[in-house]
Structure 1
Amino acid sequence: MRVTEHPTESVTDSDSQKAVNETLEDYTLRYAPHSFRRWSPKVVAITALGGIAYLADFSIGASIGMSYGTTNAIFSILFAAIIIFLTGIPLAYYAARYNIDLDLITRGAGFGYVGSVVTSIIFASFTFIFFALEGSIMAQGLLLGLNIPLWAGYLISTLMVIPLVIYGMKALSKLQVWTTPIWLILMIGPVAYLIYQEPDLVRQFTTFNGHEGYASVDMAAIMLGAGVCLSLIMQIGEQIDYLRFMPARTKENSKSWWVAVISAGPGWVILGAIKQIIGAFLGFYLLTKLPGVNSTEPVQQFNAAFHDMLPGWLALTLAVILVVISQIKINVTNAYSGSLAWTSAYTRISKYYPGRIIFVMVNLAIALALMEGNMFAVLGKILGFYSNFAIAWVVVVATDIAINKYVLKLSPKEPEYRRDMLYNINPVGMVSFLAAAGLSIAAFFGILGDFLSSYSPLIALIVAFVLTPVMGLLTQGKYYIKQKDDGVAEPRYNSEGTPVSTIYQCVVCEQDYERPDIMFSHKHHGIICSLCKTLDK
C-alpha cells in the first residue's frame, strides 16, 4: 500500500535532501524501515558481534588484575558483566523490535525530545574514547612489528577506517562477517596453547594478589575494578546500531530472532568478560616471563603467547595481524556509531542537518587528539570516571522500559521519538540521571568521604534504579507523551506490535517513508517525515 499526500503549497528543504541516500546516511536519526532491513537475524548478529573484537578488554583485565589481584579482578569482571547483561536486555529488545537506535529509545524512555541530547553526547564520548584506546593499541603493534613511530601509528589507525565507515551497514556487515573467523582463531589459539603447555601458570595466577596490597577478597578493590569494567556498559549502544536492522519478528523466525537479539545484544558481555579474564591472565604471564614489558599492552601479551608456539618472526607477524584486524573491526563501529550520536545531537539543537560524514571526521579528530595526548597511560582513571555517566544513563533507560512501561504502565509500551509528540524534557529520566551521575561523580572524587569513593559505580546504579520509578510515580507519567494523535488514521504498529510498513510520501523532501516515521503536519498541509519535522525551523 502506498499513500501520497498532495500539499496545497510546495515545500522544499535542502537539508532534508542530504539524508536521502540510504547507503551514505544509513537512516541516521530515524526508524530503519522494513524495506531496508534485508539481512537475516544471523547476519545481523554476526555483524553486531564483530564490533566487540576490540582488544581493550585485554588491557582492562590486565590493568585491574595487576592492581587488585586475580580474585578481586574476576569478581569485578563478573559483577560488571551481570549488570551489563541485565540492563542490556530491554534495550536490545526495543532496538530490534521497533528498529530504532539508543537515542530514539532514550527520547521516549524518560528523557524527552531535547533531554536525550545530553545522552547522545555521552554516547559520542564513549565512541571516541574507545576509538582512541583501540587506535593506541594498534599503534603499539605497528611500533613493535614495523618500528613505525607511535605518532604515525595513531594517524594510520585513524585514517584507515574512513573508507570503510562511510558506507554504513552494507559495508560493515561484509567486513565483520568475513573477518570474524580469522580474529577468533588468532585470539583463542595462542591462549589455549599456553594454558595447555603451562598448567602451573594457571595455579600461580589464581593466587596472585596484585601490586596494591589488597586482600584476596576486598569489596573496595572489587568495586574499583568493576567501575572500570562498567565503563563498557555503553557498548550496548553500538550493538543497538546494528540490532535496529533486525527483520520483523514472526512466528517462523521467532527462535532465531530471539537468539540473535540476546547473543548480539546483552550477550556481547559474555565474550567481553572472558576476554578480560584472559587479559588478566596474559598480564600475569608477562609479569612472570618478561618483567620489564608493559603487561597491559595487548600486542605484547599476544606476541609473547605466540612466541611460545611459533618461530619469532611468525609470532610477531601474527600478533600484529591480530591487533590490526581487531582495531579495524571495532573502530569502524566506533566511528560509525559516534557519527550517528553527534549528528543526532547537533541536528536537534541547530535544526540543521550537516550529514553524518561530517561527524565521522569530527569523531576521528577528537580520537586522534586523545591518542597523541597518550590517553593510554591514564586508561583506568578515564574509564573509571566515564563509567559513572554511562551507568546512570543506561540504568535509567533500562529501568524505565522494564518497570515504568511494563510493570507500572506509566508510559506507552510502543516507543515514541517524533518531535511534537514528546515534551522537550521529561523529568523522570533527566532528574534520575542527573541525581545518579552527580552523586556517583561526587563519590568518585572523594567528596562523599573516603569510604564511598570506591563505590561510585554502585551509587550510580542504585540511585538510577530506585529514582526512575519513584519519579514516574510522582509525575504519574504526565511528561512521556505530549499528544497522542499524530493526525494519521492508520496505526503505527499492528496488533502484534510490529511496525506497519505502509509507504507515505513526505511533502517536504518528497521521499518515501514507512508509517512509524511520519506524522501529519498542519503547517505543511500533509504528511511529513520525522527528519523533516526535526529540521523544521
Structure 2
Amino acid sequence: MTDVDRAGQRTDVTGPPPDVPPTVPPSLEEPHSLDASKETLEDYTLRFAPRSYRRWGTGVVATSALGGIAYLADFAIGANIGIAHGTTNALWGIAIAAVIIFVTGFPLAYYAARYNIDLDLITRGSGFGYYGSVLTNVIFATFTFIFFALEGSIMAQGLELGLGIPLWLGYAISTLMVIPLVIYGMKALAKLQVWTTPLWLVLFVIPMVYLLVSHPDSVETFFAYQGADGDGAPSFASMMLAAGVCLSLMAQIAEQIDYLRFMPPRTDANRRSWWRAVILAGPGWVIFGAVKQIVGLFVAVYIIARLTPDASATANEPVHQFLTVYEQFLPDWAAMTLAVILVVISQIKINVTNAYSGSLAWTNSFTRVTKHYPGRLVFVLFNLAVALLLMELNMFSVLNTILGFYANCAMAWVVTVAADIVINKGLLKISPTVPEFRRGMLYAFNPVGFVSVILSAGLSIAVFFGLFGSGIQPFSPIVAIVLALVLTPLIAVVTKGRYYLRRTDDGIDLPMFDADGNPSGEHLTCHVCRVDYERPDMVRCQTHDAYVCSLDLSTDKVGDHVLPAQH
C-alpha cells in the first residue's frame, strides 16, 4: 500500500504510520514550520488554496499579479504590428483586443478570487470535465514557454548589446537565473514583484516623459505613420490582423489567476479593496498591456522617423528602443547601464511567473493522466528546457506568425470558459454555479467545453492559414470568438447539462461556504496522508468511513477512494 505526504511524494506506509508534524495550519508567527515550507515549495499546485495559507492582503496580491506583467514583449508586439499595418490600424487592433480580453477575463478572475482555485480547476467544472481540461492545460503551458522564450530573447539582446555576451549564452543565462526564484512559489514571487516594481516604473516612465516634453512633434509623426510599406491606410482587415497578434496575450489571464487564487476571503470590511484588486490585477492587466504596446509603437516610429536606417532596423527590439531614448539625454555609459537594468528586471519579473505558471499547468496534466505526482520542480525544469530550445531556434524572427497562430487556441479556450460561466451558469442555469474540480464529482469529459474548443480553435486556425480564402483570413480571431460563444451554450442545451456533475453530494455534512459566501475554513483530516485540509478540498472516501483530500484522489491509481456516480 502506498501513501501520499503533504507535498505529494508517495511513501511506503506498510508499517506503522509515519511521523507527521502537527496538523495545524501554518501561522503567520511560524512561517518556517515543516508544513509551511513544503506548501511553499509546492504552492498548492493541484488543489484549492486554503485560507490558512492565504496570508497576503488584497494590495499585496494585486501588486504581485501586476508585477508579473512588466514584460517587454508588449513593446515588441506594438512595434511589429505598427510597422506592418500603420499606426491607425495598430491602435484600433490594440483597442479591439483589449476590450475582448477584459470582457472575457473578468468572470474568470472573479471565480478564481472568490473560490481560490486556478484556471485549470475552474475549467474542469466549466464544461470540460476532470480529464477534458488537460487539453486547455497544454494550451496554457504552451503560452508560458512561448512568452518565456520571447522575454528571454529580449534579455539576451540586452546582454549582447550591453555586455557583449553572445546570444546563445544570453539565452542560457536568462533561463537559468529564474530557477532559484521560482521554486519557492507565491511567497518568493510576492516579495520579488513588490520590491522591483517601483524601480521598473521609474526606468519605464522617464524616457517616455522625455520624448513627449522634448519632442512634442513626435506625437503628430506617430499618428501619421502608415507602416513600413507606406500603405497603412485604415482597413478593418488590417485592424483585425493587428488584433489577432495582440489577442495571443489572452492566456495571460491564467497567469494573473495564479496570483488571484491567493486573495483573502471577501468580507464587508474589505469588499471595496477586494473588488479593486480583482478588477485591476485580473482583467485590468490588459489596460497596462495596451499602454505598453502603444508606447512600443510610439518609440519605434520616433526611431524610424528621426534616426539613421541602422537604428530603424532594430526599432522593434525593446532594448534598442529604450537605449536609443536614454542616449538622447544621458551619456552613453549611463544609457547603456539603465537600458540593460530595465531589460533584466523586466525579464526576471515576467519569466518567474511564466516558469511558475507553466510548472503548475504541466504538473496538473501529468498527475491526472498518470496518477503520479512528481513535484512541481520537475516541470519547472521541463518548461525552461522547451523555452530555451525556442530561443536557440530564434523564434523572435517569426514573432507575428507564432503569436497570430497561438491566439486562435487561446481565444477558443478562454472564451469557452467565460461563456460557460456567464451564459451556461449565469443565464441558462445549466452549468452548476459553484466550480467543481474534485475527482469523482466530475465526469471524465464534458463535450460542452471540450468540443467547443476543438471546433472553434481548429476552424479559426484553418482560417488563419488561408484554407477558406484570403478574404476571410484576417478575421480568424472573430471566427474563434464567435464559434466559442455559440457552441458553448448550444452544446450545453443539446446535452441538457448532463455531463457536468457525476455527483452532487460529496458525502460531507459540513457546509462548503461560510456566512459571507467564502469557501469554508473548517478542517478535516485526510485518512490517506493524515494531514488536515480545509473543507472545499475534501471528499468522503468510498471504502472507508473517513475523508480524502483532492491530491490523494488524483493519485489514486485503483480508484478505491473515488465515490461512485449518482443515478
Out of 343, 348, 354, the position equivalent to 1:328 is 348
Equivalent residue number for residue 5 of structure 1: none
- Confirm or deny that 1:483 pairs with 2:503: yes
Equivalent residue number for residue 38 of structure 1: 55
Equivalent residue number for residue 309 of structure 1: 329
Find the residue that maps to 2:427 and give its secondary structure. Answer: coil
Equivalent residue number for residue 18 of structure 1: 9
Equivalent residue number for residue 272 of structure 2: 255
CA contact (8 A) 1:223 1:455 kept: yes
CA contact (8 A) 2:266 2:516 kept: no
Structure with the larger RCO, 1 or 2 (CA within 8 Å, 6+ apart): 1
More displaced 10-residue stretch of structure 1: 446-455 or 29-38: 446-455
C-alpha distance in 2 between matches for 1:262 and 1:536: 38
Equivalent residue number for residue 110 of structure 2: 93
C-alpha distance in 2 between matches for 1:365 and 1:388: 25
Residues 314-333 of structure 1, C-alpha deviations (whole Å, 9 max, x = no match): 01100000000000000000
Equivalent residue number for residue 538 of structure 2: 518
- Deviation of 1:216 after TM superposition, in Å, equals 2.1
Equivalent residue number for residue 390 of structure 1: 410
Distance verdict in 2 for CA 1:11–1:155, change over 3 Å: closer
Equivalent residue number for residue 154 of structure 2: 137
Sequence identity, in percent? 61
Residues 294-313 of structure 1, C-alpha deviations (whole Å, 9 max, x = no match): 11110000000111121111
Out of 285, 291, 302, the position equivalent to 2:309 is 291
Distance verdict in 2 for CA 1:11–1:129, change over 3 Å: closer
Equivalent residue number for residue 436 of structure 2: 416
Find the residue that maps to 1:31 and give its secondary structure. Answer: coil
Find the residue that maps to 2:548 and give its secondary structure. Answer: strand
Residues 258-287 of structure 1, C-alpha deviations (whole Å, 9 max, x = no match): 000000000000010000000011111221
| Aligned counterparts, 1:221-232, within 5 A | 221-232=238-249
Equivalent residue number for residue 469 of structure 2: 449
- Deviation of 1:175 after TM superposition, in Å, equals 0.4
| Runs of 4+ residues over 3 Å off in structure 1 | 13-17, 212-215
CA contact (8 A) 1:388 1:441 kept: yes
- Confirm or deny that 1:59 pairs with 2:76: yes
- Deviation of 1:18 after TM superposition, in Å, equals 2.8
- Deviation of 1:497 after TM superposition, in Å, equals 2.5
C-alpha distance in 2 between matches for 1:454 and 1:366: 29
Out of 195, 200, 209, the position equivalent to 1:192 is 209
CA contact (8 A) 2:7 2:375 kept: no
CA contact (8 A) 2:140 2:361 kept: yes
- Confirm or deny that 1:217 pairs with 2:234: yes
Equivalent residue number for residue 3 of structure 1: none
C-alpha distance in 1 between matches for 2:7 and 2:293: 44
| Aligned counterparts, 1:118-137, within 5 A | 118-137=135-154
1:186 counterpart letter in structure 2: L
Give 5+ residue unaligned stretches, structure 2.
Answer: 11-34, 558-567
Residues 339-373 of structure 1, C-alpha deviations (whole Å, 9 max, x = no match): 00000000000000000000000000000000011
- Deviation of 1:472 after TM superposition, in Å, equals 1.4
C-alpha distance in 1 between matches for 2:515 and 2:165: 59
Distance verdict in 2 for CA 1:527–1:374, change over 3 Å: same
Find the residue that maps to 1:519 and give its secondary structure. Answer: strand
Equivalent residue number for residue 274 of structure 1: 291
- Deviation of 1:13 after TM superposition, in Å, equals 3.4
C-alpha distance in 2 between matches for 1:32 and 1:26: 8
| Aligned counterparts, 1:313-462, within 5 A | 313-462=333-482
| Aligned counterparts, 1:152-191, within 5 A | 152-191=169-208
- Deviation of 1:17 after TM superposition, in Å, equals 3.9
- Deviation of 1:431 after TM superposition, in Å, equals 1.4
- Confirm or deny that 1:79 pairs with 2:109: no
Distance verdict in 2 for CA 1:48–1:15, change over 3 Å: closer
2:395 counterpart letter in structure 1: M
1:148 counterpart letter in structure 2: I
C-alpha distance in 1 between matches for 2:142 and 2:501: 29
CA contact (8 A) 1:18 1:355 kept: yes
Give 5+ residue unaligned stretches, structure 1.
Answer: 1-9
- Deviation of 1:214 after TM superposition, in Å, equals 3.8
CA contact (8 A) 1:520 1:527 kept: yes
CA contact (8 A) 1:151 1:372 kept: yes
CA contact (8 A) 1:194 1:308 kept: no
Distance verdict in 2 for CA 1:335–1:234, change over 3 Å: same
C-alpha distance in 2 between matches for 1:250 and 1:493: 13
- Deviation of 1:213 after TM superposition, in Å, equals 4.9
Find the residue that maps to 1:252 and give its secondary structure. Answer: coil
C-alpha distance in 2 between matches for 1:168 and 1:330: 14
When the two structures are superposed, what TM-score results if normalisation uses the length of structure 2?
0.92
C-alpha distance in 2 between matches for 1:364 and 1:468: 34
Find the residue that maps to 2:136 and give its secondary structure. Answer: helix
Find the residue that maps to 1:504 and give its secondary structure. Answer: strand
2:470 counterpart letter in structure 1: D
Find the residue that maps to 1:383 and give its secondary structure. Answer: helix
C-alpha distance in 1 between matches for 2:40 and 2:185: 6
Equivalent residue number for residue 6 of structure 1: none
Aligned CA RMSD, in angstroms, stands at 1.3
2:517 counterpart letter in structure 1: G
C-alpha distance in 2 between matches for 1:17 and 1:447: 46
2:3 counterpart letter in structure 1: T
CA contact (8 A) 1:414 1:497 kept: no
C-alpha distance in 1 between matches for 2:230 and 2:304: 16
CA contact (8 A) 1:16 1:531 kept: no
C-alpha distance in 1 between matches for 2:79 and 2:500: 43
2:309 counterpart letter in structure 1: P
Find the residue that maps to 2:268 and give its secondary structure. Answer: coil
CA contact (8 A) 1:17 1:509 kept: no
C-alpha distance in 1 between matches for 2:384 and 2:2: 36
1:79 counterpart letter in structure 2: I
1:301 counterpart letter in structure 2: Q
- Deviation of 1:494 after TM superposition, in Å, equals 3.2
- Confirm or deny that 1:492 pairs with 2:509: no
